[in-house]
Amino acid sequence: MNRAFFPVVKAFFIAVVALSTAAHAADEAKAAPAKADPAKGEALYTNGDPARNITACISCHGAAGASTISANPKLGGQHEAYIHKQLTNFQGADRNNPIMSPLAKLLTDDEMKNIAAYLNAQPAKPGAAKDKDTLALGKKIYRGGIAEKSVPACAGCHSPNGAGIPAQFPRIGGQHQDYTVTELTNFRSGARKNGPMMTTIAKRMSDDEIKAVADYIAGLK
């Protein structure tokens, strides 16, 4: 066999390996999700996008997610994965809301991730319990559940101080009483469908129990 043939073969195989490596790297780059950009999230949260009719989140949820409107949740310090999931759910039928659903449908997935990353990095705004007459009941439910109704302790998933568990259960400590009451009631009625576990639990709770635990939660730090 002509010796001149071997360098040609060697060069051919080197070229094939190089092309294969480049193609593999390109595939990995396509598969890797884009990293969330908190700076872009802050810009969209603070300013919105008037050209696309996207209202600034700050107008309802306050600077850095520190909402002062009791019907609108505090979002500062909320887990990134949870915020992204909720915005995604607002785009479908699982969490239909006349204000949030139209806005969420205007956002791209990257924009939702950016907003979530920004809010995750903000400090959680503390709240306070207001009704001393229901504090004991709220504390009992949150820490120990309601055994006779098979209602588990809220602390089991949301942690003793309401900080939640990242990527699994949301931060609820310090949340507005009115908002928590509304969401538990929505879970109970089926108006909110994106938490089967919460639906089961809320259906076993009375109005008074929901209000008591919501007030206790507001004071958690």
Annotated binding site for heme c: 57, 60-61, 100, 154, 157-158, 198
What's the CA gap between 143 and 156, in Å, rounded? 8
Q: In angstroms, rounded to a whole number, what is the distance separating the alpha carbons of residues 120 and 114?
A: 10
Distance CA 130, CA 69 (A): 16
Q: Which residues are annotated as a binding site?
A: 57, 60-61, 100, 154, 157-158, 198
Residue 96 and residue 183 in contact, taking contact as beta carbons nearer than 8 Å: no
Backbone dihedral region for residue 12 (phi beyond 0: left; psi -120 to 50: alpha; all else: beta): alpha
| Rounded-to-integer distance, Cα 170 and Cα 135, Å | 22
Which residues touch 175 (CB under 8 Å, ≥6 apart)? Answer: 73, 74, 127, 162, 217, 218
Angle between helices 80-90 and 109-120 (to 10 degrees): 140
With 0-12 / 13-18 / 19 or more C-beta atoms within 10 angstroms meaning exposed / middle / buried, residue 110 is middle
Closest CA to 210 of 218, 164, 169, 124: 218
